[in-house]
Amino acid sequence: MSRICQVTGKKPITGNHVSHSNRKTKRWFYPNLQTKRFFIPEEDRWIKLKVSTSAIRTISKKGIYEYLKDMQKKTGKKWLLKK
Q: Which pLDDT does position 29 carry in this prediction?
A: 97
For residue 38, what pLDDT is reported?
94
Q: Is residue 83 predicted with pLDDT exceeding 80?
A: no
| Statement: residue 16 has pLDDT above 90 | yes
Question: Count of CB atoms within 10 A of residue 55's CB?
Answer: 24
Give mean pLDDT, residues 49-77.
Answer: 88
Mean pLDDT, the chain, whole residue set: 89
CB count within 10 Å of CB 5 equals: 20
Residue 79 pLDDT greater than 70, yes or no: no
CB contact set of 57 (below 8 Å; sequence gap of 6+): none
Residue 74's pLDDT is what?
80
Is the CB of residue 7 less than 8 Å from the CB of residue 51?
yes
Q: Name the CATH topology of 13-75.
A: Ribosomal Protein L24e; Chain: T; (2.30.170)
